[in-house]
Chains A and B, each alone.
Chain A
Amino acid sequence: MWDNSLNKAAAPTLGDWKLMLRALWRIRVFEGQVQRLAAAGEVPGFPHLSTGQEAVAVGVCAHLNREDTLFTSHRGHGHTLAKGSDLQATFAEILGRDAGLCRGRGGSMHLVDAANGMLGATGVVGGNLPLAAGAAWAAQAGGGSAISVVFFGDGATGAGVFHETLNLAVLWKLPLLFVCENNGYAEFTSREEHSNVKHVSAFAAPYGMPARTIDGNDLVTVHAAAADAIARLRSGGGPYLLECMTYRMAGHFVGDAQQYRSKEELAALQEKCPIERLKRYLLERGVAEAELLGIGEEARQEVLRAVEGARAGARPDPATVLDYVYSAPSLAAIPG
C-alpha cells in the first residue's frame, strides 16, 4: 500500500517521485475499476471519478501525516487513497460491503477512514468546508503542528458557506489548507457560465488569505506549492488557498455522456494527463522507460487484487441496519 513514507522535509528524491508515480497509477486504475463495475451494475448510487485529477491528491497528501485531517468532496476516491487508506477497504465501501471503511453505510460520497485522518467525503457541495475548519480549530486547540486540508471543486465557490469559512479561517488563524480543484466544470456547466470570477484564488485576497493558482496536472508543481503552503500552516501562519487548475478526464458521474464537451477538447486531454507528464519528467532524469512501465503495472496488479478481494467480501447483514444511529441503544428506541 501507499505508505506515504516520503521524505517530507527535503526535496523529493528520484525514489520519492517513483513512489508518487505509483500513487497516481493506483488512483487511475482504481477509478477505472469503479467505472467498469459501475457500468456492470455492481456499484450502487452515484460514484464520481477523479480520473485526470490525481496529481492534486498525491502532490498535496505527500506532505501529510496520519494526524493531519482531510475532508474531501463527492469526488474523493483519489484523496482517500492518497491519504493512505487501504485499497481494498476503500473499494469494498464503494461496493457497499461489510468490510468497507464504513461497513457499507457511507459509500462513494461518504468515505471516512478515521484512523488515517480521512474524516469524510460529502455529497453536499461546500458542506465539507466548515467541517474542515472545525478540525483545524481542534488541531489549533491541541497545540501541535497538525493541520487540516479540504479539497473542493470550483463549483463550491457558489455556496455561501465557502465565503463564511474563508472569513472564519482567517479570523481564527486556523491551520487550514483550502485546495480547490478547478476542473472547469461545476457538474455539467462550465465555469464561465456560473461565475464572473475567473480564478478561485481571487476570492482569498479580500479576506486577507494568501493564495496561488497553479498547474494542478503537474505533480512537481503541485508538490512544491503544497510544500510552501503547508510549511506556512505548520508554523502558525494561518490558512492558505491553493487553486489547482486541472481537468476531469471522466464525466461528472459514471455514465455521463459528456455532450457538453467537444471532440477536440477530449483529444487534448492526453496532453494534460498528469501520469504522462510525470513520466516525461522522470525519463528526462534518466529513469528507464521499462522501469516506469513496471511501476504502472505493479500498481495495476495491486489494485486488481484489492478489487477482487473487495468483491469477494460479505454484504452487510440487514439485521444491523439500525446500528450506529446513536451512542446508546436506549436513545435509538424510535419505531421504524
Chain B
Amino acid sequence: MSQTFIEILRRALDEELARDPSVYLLGEDVAVGGAFGVTKGLAGKYGERRVRNTPISEAAITGLATGAALCGLRPVLEIMFIDFATLSLDCLVNQTAKYRYMSGGQLAVPMVVRTQAGAAGGAAAQHSQSLEAWFIHVPGLVVVAPSSPAEAYGLLKSSIRLGDPVLFVEHKRLYAQKETLVESAGLPAIGKARVARAGSDVTLITYSAMVRSALEAADELGRSGISVEVLDLRTLLPLDMNTIADSVAKTHRVVIAHEAVLHGGAGAEIAARVGHELFDELDAPVTRVGCPFAPIPFALELERALLPGTANIVRAVRELSS
C-alpha cells in the first residue's frame, strides 16, 4: 500500500514511540497533529505527556529538548519551518552540539530536531529557505535530508536511535509524494550515501527534493546518450566521501545540485573536497547548480524563475560533457 511522505513519517514516529518509552515528541501544535499533520493521532494513542504541545518559544523548547536528552529522554522536537530554527540556533550551536565534547564525554544529547524546509506554492521569503549549510558548519551535529517517503522512514528511525543530535530536514514539496515501503528493508546507517541511479559518464551529487529533479534530468540526458550516476547523499553531515570517490573513479566528472542558495551552500564544501581529495580523478572542473543569490519570492512565476530544477541540471551536465 502506498503512503504519503507525511503518513510514512507518522508511522516511523508511531513505531519508535511504541518501541522505546524514552522517546517523546514535542513542538508547536504536535498534540493536534502539527502544522502539516505529521503527528496526527499520536497524542491520542500515547497521551499528551509523550506527545506534547509547546508555546511558540523556539529558543526555550530547543533547550528543553536538549536538557531532557542530557537526562536520558530521546526527544523528537518539531520546529515547524527551518526558517524558525534561527531562533533555536543559540541552543543548537552553543549547547546541543557541544555538550558531549565540552563534558569530556560524560553526557550525550540523543535528540532529533525535525524541521521542514524548501520552497513551494508561494510560501515566500520566511517559510521557504534551505538553510542546511549553516548547520553542517557545526561540529557535533548530524544533518539528514531524506529524498523520498521510504528514505524518510528509515532515516528518521535511525536518527532517533543514533545518540547524537540530528537536524532532520523534510522538504515540503515531498510531503504529498507517495511510495510503498519495502517491509524487509533494514534501517540505513547514518552517514552513508545511496546510489539512486547508476551511470558512467557524470556523477550528479544531490539530496532532498532535488534528487527527484536529478533523476528526471538523468532520464532526459540518457536519451541523448549521456549516462548519469545520481548520488543521494541522505546525510550532509557527516559527508560520505567514500561513495562519492567510488563514483568519481568511474565518471571523472561531477555536478552538485541543491535548492539552497549556491553561494556558501553545502555544495561549496563538497566541491572543495572533491577538488582536493579526488583531483587526479577529475577530467573537468566541478560544477554546481543552486539557487541564485536572492530571497525566495512570493509570486509563483517569480518563485519558478528563481528555483533551480531539472532544466538547470540538464544544462549543467551538457556543458560539462561537451
Chain A residues near B (Cβ < 8 Å): 69, 71, 100-106, 110, 112-115, 119-120, 122-124, 127, 129-139, 141, 148, 160-161, 164-165, 167-168, 171-172, 323-327, 330-335
Contact = CB atoms under 8 A, between A and B. Distances in A.
Contact of A131 (B63, B72, B105): B63
A184 to B, nearest CB: 26
Contact of B55 (A122, A137, A167, A334): A167
A276 B35 CA distance: 58
B105 A138 contact: no
Nearest to A161: B59
A133 B95 CA distance: 14
Contacts of B140: 325-326
Contact of B67 (A138, A161, A171, A334): A138
Interface of B: 24, 49, 52, 54-55, 57, 59-73, 75, 90-91, 94-95, 99-108, 139-140, 142, 162-164, 190-191, 237-239, 241, 273
B63 A161 contact: yes
B238 A131 contact: no
Nearest to B67: A134
Contacts of B63: 127, 129-131, 133-134, 161, 165
Given A137-B68, A327-B108, A334-B238, A168 B73 contact: no
Contact of B59 (A137, A164, A171, A324): A164
Contacts, number: 165
A1 to B, nearest CB: 19
Nearest to B22: A141
Contacts of B105: 103, 323-324
Contacts of B104: 100-106, 112, 324
A106 B106 CA distance: 11
Contacts of B273: 335
Question: Max chain B CB contacts within 10 Å: which of A100, A130, A334?
Answer: A130
A124 B57 contact: no
B62 A130 contact: yes
A325 B100 contact: yes
A331 B71 contact: no
A219 B59 CA distance: 34
Nearest to B105: A324
A317 to B, nearest CB: 13
Given A119-B70, A127-B90, A334 B60 contact: no
A173 to B, nearest CB: 12
A134 B94 contact: no
Given A105-B102, A122-B95, A334-B237, A164 B67 contact: no
Contact of B100 (A100, A327, A330): A327
A137 B64 contact: yes
